[in-house]
Structure 1
Amino acid sequence: MIRTTPRAATTRPARLIGSTILALGLAFAAPALAQDDSDIITAHGVSSFGELKYPADFDHFDYVNVDAPKGGEMSTWAFGTFDSLTPYILKGNAAAMSSVFYDSLLTGTLDEPDAMYGLVAESVEYPENREWIVFNMRPEARFRDGTPVTAEDVVFSFNILVEDGLPSFRVQFKDILEAEALDEHRVKFTFNPDGPLRELLMTAGGLPIFSKAYYEDRDFAESSLEPPMGSGAYELLSVEPGRSVAYKRRDDYWARDLPVNRGQNNFDVLRVEYFADYTTAFEAFKGGAYTYREEFQSKIWATGYEFPAVQEGTVEVETLPDGRPAGTQGFFFNLRRDKFQDPRVREAIGMAFNFEWSNESLFYGLYERTDSFWENSATLQATGMPSEAELELLEPIREYIPETVFTEEAFTPHVASADDLADRRTLRQAGRLLSEAGWEVGDDGFRYKDGQRLTVEVLNDSPSFERIINPYIENLKRLGIEANANRVDAAEAQEREKNFEYDVVTQRFAMSQTPGDELRSVFGSETADVPGSANIAGVSNEGVDQLIRAIADAESREELTTAVHALDRVLRAMHIWVPQWYKGVHNIAYLDVYDRPYADTPPPYGLGVMSLWWWDEEKAAELRAEGAL
């Protein structure tokens, strides 16, 4: 799974199942399972590698408090704006957390990187070769209106996402050949035997389930602020388009006592307040507009958290470890543009970003430089020269990838002077690369090639980010590049990013510890020109495609690690981005009315703030008595 900050670039799915095929699937469902029973695995969940951590009779996940009280409110903030509650279509900008309405057949955990357990599905059946899977659904599953969740709803959900959902769904679901309702509560997915079979079980299991009846008189492809019909733990409480959205916990949620949900979904209300920039959002937090904030601005973290509520103990400030890869954040090039085709141009533009100066002058020394797409991962980040196992993957694709993959260690950004933004040594090297690529300095001081001036526009939608971009622009101009930072509002930025209308844009991806076929959404040729896809760089490279497939097909953790190393090495050598910075911790602040099931060490794959934490009424009473709540 991939998540991004500051704006979500969700991974999506694909393939339209016609009514004729569906009818045949219903008619001939029984023979489809006629195999030797010894070849069929029946389980309460699925795992990419090895055994599931939790047994079939597990009572709850280890990291929850099963006695956590229910009640209260958790509120946070989001950047930009929204005009829809439909997160799975191209139209509109969906509200934060609007996927909370929907359940799926399986659900993941925060302490296993590659496993999912039954939610709507009570159990699964699949052959050892994983060419199909049957989900045995819980008859008690209900939508918000009390109607049952059926296999037909699952098939409908698959079809409608392929037909009317985000275009990138057609990529993610490409290798799902059929979705069949075997009976009212059994649904079967059949996969392409040449597809990424290790991943497809969980791809199908993670499908959001919509009500077929609800959409009989509604257009799924149209954005809407109408409360959707889901079977999840929360429903809509209130919505102010572009300003705030709130969800309330359903007292009649059908799955609240299942093992996968015990100790979770503890807040009565989840609320999100929207702001146009980070600084305004922080000031609103200080004023009590919302209660929880993870801080991503180094200046604010270093200098801003000494306001009275912190000093008085009303607001808690903490740094907690983050067990995930630190995130893939950088200035991404739009490789669809001709001027960025030469990797020497991209490398030179990257050298103009002086991280060392930025860290000392702007970030208070709080960050480290990112170089890997799996930064801060002890096992997945490529280092040194390629291993023999990597070379077995790299040699067959040698014609598609940079030769430096074989002759140099995994690329790390040039280290510049922290004392001088315009580090002359670094800028001279960058200038030579531009000249080698044919971009020569003209009489007016700008660089030209074939009569065209080299221009670079950095798209930005945050006033607080200007202090970082503007010094970068200065250095680009020193190289003879006509550079500018174009700040637009959040709505325009979202539309331009959907349609790839930019030169350079900042984005952050949170990469998985068990990456797989979802990488096609970010780096695959199939998504390079799909509007709304997460492939913001427009990577379209046969060698990269083959490495993604090797990752998806890996049959062991060792094979997966080798393939990820190879891909990381290739992407870094291609210079598709200018890597920015990272920190391997969560910097958080919150109103002191909450408790949680862990002290200093959260689950390795997330804090679980919205689900695992709970409202502490005793703390709340104290704050009320002090007039602080």
Structure 2
Amino acid sequence: MRPENYLRVRVAAAAMAMIGLAGPVAAEPAHGIAMYGAPALPPDFVSLPYVNPDAPRGGRIVLGEAGGFDSLNPFILKGTAPWGLRSLGYETLMGRSWDEPFTLYGLLAESVETGPDRGWVEFTLREAARFSDGSPVTVEDVLWSFETLGRQGHPRYRGAWDKVATAEATGPRTVRFTFSSPDRELPLILGLRPVLKKAQWEGRDFAASGLEPPVGSGPYVIADYEPGRFMVLHKDPDWWGRDLPLNRGQHNFDEIRYEFFGDGDVLFEAFRGGAIDVFRETSAVKWAESYDFPAVASGEIVKSEIAHRRPTGMVGLVMNTRSPVFADWRVRDALLHAFNFERVSEVLTGGTAPRITSYYANSELAMRPGLAEGRVRELLAPFADDLLPGAIEGYALPVADGRPSNRQNLRAAFARLDAAGWRVDDAGVLRNADGAPLSFEILLRQGATEAQKIVDIFVEELKRLGVAVRVTAVDSAQYTERTDAYDFDMTFYTIALSLSPGNEQRLYWGAEGVTRPGTRNLMGMASPAAEAMIDALLTAETREDFVAATRALDRVLTTGRYVIPIWYAPTALIAHRATLRYPETLPIYGDWIGFLPDIWWSEKR
């Protein structure tokens, strides 16, 4: 990076002078920070409450992934990098406890300090913090990493960086960020930014995809790999952070191997054949019927069910409103009616899996049935004229009788389409006033077998409406390229949501994502109401206001009719070798980031 584009750094003396002019600031360094209230764990905590601090270390675990990879840089938009690399090879200033909605404790940083209104945050680095090559983690590395990620990294890093007014070294091991707008979450967001080694990238293009991994400070380093085939991580024998209380009981394996397969069916057969050690099952029917092979009967493989208390998130078929066919909400609503969830669920899950009813279902953050009331109604009221039906008065997904005919809902679908100007001609084809047929493409990732089965049933329903659909399955690289560029009409969509939504909501639903590539706003929504609800949850000073803002956002999203939801699993279904163990006490997030393989261990020696 050229010097003139380098960090917005102010000298410490100038920064302290500015602080002095503003009057005294009551703040002091702390071992952790929570979005609301105080961290649950004291400064002298021994380990996280959901780990086994005495877990055996050593052994090996082999994990399977459907798809492939063509990059080892997980921090940029270009290329596809193995998912596990980001969390296992790199560290952040602070680490998350997955037993609290959103609380961080010191990792690379030994302490964090904020002003009373969180208008700034200061981190103090641990003197012992080291990269995998033995070099110290410095303030300069932090400043370079944050700006480089914010300017050249994946779009998920840009929103927070745009709110940083100044970034400055205030001491040999301290770094301060001052914010340009109110946002109580920003200190936590910056605490979770990965720190990379600046010297590795001198004179090089950080945004260019490649197979040289960035140097990190995390517990694992890459030992071997073959693009698209496998990746082997070895525990760094000199990992600086192994004895931190935050890490006690975590990262117990000496080796983690990822094997990549063409699709989910092949991946399952590899598990049956003993090539991999763990398989996450998403089908309740398969869980009940397909695990009768010898390794299960002998006890070599065990079936574990991991409960959680997190929101459902959204899983289903997303409609891209950038495509003219889905710009009209009535067409989207018609397809929601045409989708016979009850039949699809009966065929694929035995009717046992509960449906996702909103983005934050299964949590206190979910929209409540019926009329919006109290603070939720106050937040939505200024946008009443622009909100879609149901946002204020109440909304529920269409329910079918489960029969293939789905007649009642199809009648409602035809009515919506008729109101939108689509009518069936003599040949049974839906056409608009210009004679153009209603047709679109459903884009799928090769190997997504469950998604393919869902789509196959849905396409039959759409034929009865007179809709022409083509289904296209592409490899992982093409799928990522097309979805990053929003080059699709409809595709299968999965977005996980936490108990503490914040700045990432702009990446998911913000209007910038309509044109900016690589966001999670696959539906292309541009909603002033959603933007206002995000502002409200980011600036909420009480838990009550935060919950109300999230419930209001949930109403805007759900009644936007952007996604045809399917089901969620209240428990994760994991089949694994009996020698692999996990703690009896589960975090509230369950099988989530930081669970497998992070807090598991092997009894085999």
TM-score between the two structures when normalised by the length of structure 2 = 0.95
Contact 1:168–1:527 (CA under 8 A) maintained in structure 2: no
**Inter-partner Cα distance in structure 1 for 2:499 and 2:8:** 36
1:79 is matched with which residue: 66, 72, 95? 66
CA RMSD of aligned residues (A): 1.8
Contact 1:517–1:549 (CA under 8 A) maintained in structure 2: no
Paired letter, 1:392: E
Contact 1:180–1:188 (CA under 8 A) maintained in structure 2: yes
Q: Deviations over 1:91-130 (max 9, x none)?
A: 1111121212211101101111111011111111211011
The answer as to 2:437 corresponding to 1:453 is yes
Identity of aligned residues (%): 38
**Inter-partner Cα distance in structure 2 for 1:262 and 1:20:** 37
**Inter-partner Cα distance in structure 2 for 1:91 and 1:354:** 37
**Inter-partner Cα distance in structure 1 for 2:368 and 2:157:** 30
Residue 333 (structure 1) shift: 0.7
Counterpart of 2:109 in structure 1 is 121
The answer as to 2:596 corresponding to 1:609 is yes
Q: Secondary structure at 1:180's aligned position in 2?
A: strand
Counterpart of 1:55 in structure 2 is 42
Counterpart of 2:95 in structure 1 is 107
Residue 543 (structure 1) shift: 1.1
In the TM superposition, what are the counterparts of 1:615-626 in structure 2 within 5 Å? Answer: 615-617=602-604
Contact 1:382–1:568 (CA under 8 A) maintained in structure 2: no
**Inter-partner Cα distance in structure 1 for 2:519 and 2:11:** 31
Counterpart of 1:592 in structure 2 is 578
Residue 32 (structure 1) shift: 4.4
Counterpart of 2:419 in structure 1 is 436
Paired letter, 2:97: T
The answer as to 2:234 corresponding to 1:251 is no
**Inter-partner Cα distance in structure 2 for 1:455 and 1:385:** 36
Residue 18 (structure 1) shift: 5.5
Which 4+ runs in 1 deviate beyond 4 A?
A: 16-21, 35-38
The answer as to 2:197 corresponding to 1:211 is yes
**Inter-partner Cα distance in structure 2 for 1:68 and 1:37:** 47
Count of residues in correspondence between the two structures: 596
Contact 2:315–2:492 (CA under 8 A) maintained in structure 1: yes
Contact 1:168–1:530 (CA under 8 A) maintained in structure 2: no
Contact 1:522–1:534 (CA under 8 A) maintained in structure 2: yes
Q: Deviations over 1:499-535 (max 9, x none)?
A: 1111111111111101112101111112222111111
Paired letter, 1:609: L
Q: Deviations over 1:189-219 (max 9, x none)?
A: 1111x332x1100111111001011111432
1:578 is matched with which residue: 551, 564, 588? 564
1:372–1:17: structure 2 CA closer, same or farther, 3 Å change rule?
Answer: farther
Counterpart of 2:227 in structure 1 is 241
Paired letter, 1:429: A
Paired letter, 1:452: A
Counterpart of 2:267 in structure 1 is 281
In the TM superposition, what are the counterparts of 1:372-383 in structure 2 within 5 Å? Answer: 372-383=358-369
Contact 1:41–1:128 (CA under 8 A) maintained in structure 2: no
Counterpart of 1:174 in structure 2 is 162
Paired letter, 1:442: D
Counterpart of 2:376 in structure 1 is 390
Contiguous gaps of at least 5 residues in structure 1: 1-15, 621-629
Contact 2:64–2:279 (CA under 8 A) maintained in structure 1: yes
Counterpart of 1:624 in structure 2 is none
Residue 362 (structure 1) shift: 2.3
Q: Secondary structure at 2:573's aligned position in 1?
A: strand
Counterpart of 1:132 in structure 2 is 120
Contiguous gaps of at least 5 residues in structure 2: none
The answer as to 2:211 corresponding to 1:225 is yes
Contact 1:328–1:375 (CA under 8 A) maintained in structure 2: no
**Inter-partner Cα distance in structure 2 for 1:518 and 1:20:** 25
Contact 1:101–1:228 (CA under 8 A) maintained in structure 2: no
Deviates more, 1:318-327 or 1:145-154: 318-327
**Inter-partner Cα distance in structure 2 for 1:32 and 1:62:** 41
**Inter-partner Cα distance in structure 2 for 1:508 and 1:163:** 26
2:54 is matched with which residue: 67, 73, 89? 67
1:79–1:401: structure 2 CA closer, same or farther, 3 Å change rule?
Answer: same
**Inter-partner Cα distance in structure 1 for 2:288 and 2:397:** 26
Counterpart of 1:532 in structure 2 is 518
**Inter-partner Cα distance in structure 1 for 2:497 and 2:9:** 39
Residue 337 (structure 1) shift: 1.3
Q: Secondary structure at 2:155's aligned position in 1?
A: coil
Counterpart of 1:42 in structure 2 is 29
The answer as to 2:200 corresponding to 1:190 is no
Residue 135 (structure 1) shift: 0.4
**Inter-partner Cα distance in structure 2 for 1:29 and 1:17:** 21
Q: Deviations over 1:381-426 (max 9, x none)?
A: 432211121111011122332243233x2x22211122x2231121
Residue 146 (structure 1) shift: 1.0
Residue 222 (structure 1) shift: 1.4
Counterpart of 1:30 in structure 2 is 16
Paired letter, 1:603: P
